[in-house]
Amino acid sequence: IPDPELPIYLPQAVPRGEIRTRSYFSEITQTWREATIYTPPQYSSSDRSFPVLYLQHGAGENQTSWSNQGRVGVIMDNLLADKKCKSMIIVMENGYAYAPGAKTDEDGRMVNSFETLLIKETIPMVEAHYRVKADRKHRAIAGLSMGGGQALRIGLGNLDTFSYLGCFSGAARDAGSLIKDSKSVNKALELFWIACGTEDFVYERSQTLVEELETANVHHETYWHPGTHEWQSWRLQISLFAPQLF
């Protein structure tokens, strides 16, 4: 049902980018995987290189969720047409990656190798097949809910790889333990952005994350807004996060 208060995700008569599917074989999972990739309207008509946002979905979803339910391609097309953000490629991966014979954690769940897969396989695959600016200053990572927790762990654990970090309605437990040196974090990240709806069930957890960052003296920005744990919140959040990148 269209929301007159948030028209950013509704198609307009503007230049349109493309949503592509890229298949590749993962040595880590020993399976063929698919990444969903948004390329901006200018991609096919120029030979320039573009920065990249790695954007993750929530629990129970997959690499198509941001494009199908989130309408991120439409949102980006509208932002670009209004000259509100830079052109970029968006890579959406499946956040579940299990190696053959994967061990279980203390809760009995299979150990997810997604972080290793993203750093060692997805990023090299993207940089081998797309015209991207292959340096940390032109890479961002963000996600919603489970993907927000993944973005936190991967972004803070790989400061030599990313310069922008976004967490949408997703606070990792004990996030403070991910920060080894606040000076390094502040130097590496151009933007550390946390957003959540005030009626979201993870709102208190998001506030706890912010308190941990403040205690650790880590620079960050927050955006609280009316909303719950659902796509209207995340559509809004990506429409505000993307214009701050690159």
Q: Are 243 and 79 in contact (CB under 8 A)?
A: yes
- pLDDT tens for 119-138 read 999 999 999 999 999 999 99
- Say yes or no to pLDDT of 107 above 80: no
| Of the candidate ranges 15-29, 35-49, 99-113, 147-161, the one whose mean pLDDT is the lowest | 99-113
* SS3 label, residue 98: coil
- Say yes or no to pLDDT of 150 above 70: yes
- Residue 63 pLDDT: 98
Q: Which residue has the tokens 């701050």?
A: 244
192 vs 20: CA distance, rounded Å = 28
- pLDDT tens for 19-48 read 999 999 999 999 999 999 999 999 998 899
**Percent of the chain at pLDDT above 90?**
85
- Say yes or no to pLDDT of 2 above 90: no
| Of the candidate ranges 91-100, 167-176, 197-206, the one whose mean pLDDT is the lowest | 167-176
- Nearest in space to 38 (alpha carbons), one of 78, 95, 81, 76: 76
- Say yes or no to pLDDT of 221 above 90: yes
Average pLDDT of the chain? 94
- Residue 179 pLDDT: 84
Q: Are 165 and 189 in contact (CB under 8 A)?
A: yes
Q: Are 93 and 35 in contact (CB under 8 A)?
A: yes
Q: Which residue has the tokens 């028209």?
A: 7
- Residue 7 pLDDT: 85
Confidence grade of residue 104 (pLDDT, cut at 50, 70, 90):
confident
At 223, phi and psi to the nearest 5?
-140, 105
- Residue 178 pLDDT: 80
Task: Determine the average pLDDT of the residues in 71-98.
Answer: 97
- Say yes or no to pLDDT of 1 above 80: no
In the chain, DSSP finds a helix count (H) and a strand count (E) of 8, 8
Q: What does the H/E/C string look like for 84-95?
A: CCCCCEEEECCC
Tokens of 236: 């809004």
- 161 Cβ contact partners less than 8 Å away, ≥ 6 residues apart: 119, 123, 136, 139
Long-range pairs of 122-125 with CB within 8 A, sequence gap ≥ 24: 122/35, 122/54, 122/91, 122/93, 123/54, 123/161, 125/22, 125/24, 125/35
* SS3 label, residue 243: helix
- Residue 105 pLDDT: 77
